Amino acid sequence: MIIFPAIDIIGGQCVRLVRGDYATAEKVAEDPLETAKKFEAAGAEWIHMVDLDGAKAGYPVNTGIYEDIAKNTHLKVEVGGGIRTLDTVKAYLDLGISRVILGSAALKDPQLVADAVKRFGADKIVVGIDAKDEMVAAEGWLETSNVHYIDLAKAMIKAGVTTFIFTDISKDGTLSGVNTAQLKKLRDAVGDRCNIVASGGVHTMDDIIACRDLGLYGTICGKSLYQGTLDLAEAISAADSLEIRPMTTDDYDAAYAIWLACGNGLNNLDDSREGIARYLARNPNTSFVAAENGVIAGVILCGHDGRRGYIQHMSVAPAYRRRGIASRLVNRALAALRAEGIHKAALVAFKKNAGGNAFWEAQGFTLREDLNYRNLTLTEMTRIDPDYLR
């Protein structure tokens, strides 16, 4: 589970509200960028930011702050507040923001959400569902609708949304604990089709553990971090429910489903159940799966010939992307190769797979032109320099 430390902005200042009431705004930190850097130093990979001025105005107000953090930290930044048009979505993404949150727009302009997902991809769009007494609120929580929060989630899933942030407004900023009952209702209704992030009321480690045990994708922490009732590094450690373990033949069905979902090149011989069984028999210690709450989230099939390692498949299920799982799988496989005395590795990759190959290039691979999968030999594979494994 991902821990999202939060920074809300009013007038360029870091603030927190109580139950969304702007009159309760309290300054909680001096400088947004320095605060973000402290979160990063504690181990955070993401940061959740809300333009409270923008939420009220209906258009972005504090854009420069989010751009500054995106450019001057390694944090992945998600931003909400006042995002009402596709042009605004694009403008934020062009600034290096990792994903944007659509709240009021989801309620009032569902076509905008569908268009945003289609144009920018589901991994770039999050829908914020903020509820009072289970009914969705909008316009900076100043208006309450007659739409139930689960009904909105179901409608947004039909629009292509895969990640939601659910906030019980009565809990927000109160340090009174998360609303596990409503979160469980949402998980039971749509959790098999989307990622759910809890927001509002986080107080102590008990809330982190409760959200983790519900199998949620993430939890947003704000006032608890500023008031010291929750330690960010400890929360991140406790939230890590991902297990990386050696792959076995029992994982075949889940792995094959992920390969198909990711559009991987497959052949009936090598990638059959029998083919994978032979592969794992030859190299039992270098292939791994990442599992969370018993569900296989990613897989890496890696082996060696005694001289050189080779990565045959590495895929993360779409619902689990942008969580660092791919890098953890690769690092685990490379460490296993090194433990067996293998200090050079190769990758089965195709230049035409531009989206996936961006990941490999960031990992240190240099990709060749398109290769014929069926005729591929080790001498044709892309290699990693031995120094990469040190």
- Residue 136 CA from chain centroid, whole number: 24
Is 172 among the residues known to form the active site? no
Q: Residues 42, 81: contact at Cβ < 8 Å? A: no
What is the layout of strands, in order, in the sheet containing 309-316?
Answer: 242-246, 288-292, 295-304, 309-316, 345-347, 382-384
Query: Could you give phi then psi for residue 8, rounded to 5 degrees?
Result: -100, 140
Is 251 among the residues known to form the active site? no
Alpha helix (H) ranges present in the chain?
32-41, 52-57, 63-72, 86-94, 104-108, 110-120, 149-158, 180-190, 205-213, 223-227, 232-239, 252-261, 273-282, 325-339, 354-363
- Written as six digits, the tokens of 306 are 């005694």
Q: Which residues contact 372 (CB under 8 A, 6 or more apart)?
A: none
Q: Please tell me which residue in 130, 168, 172, 251 is annotated as part of the active site.
A: 130
Q: Please tell me which residue in 8, 51, 168, 172 is annotated as part of the active site.
A: 8
| Dihedral sign from CA coordinates of 269, 246, 256, 299 | negative
Residues labelled as active-site residues: 8, 130
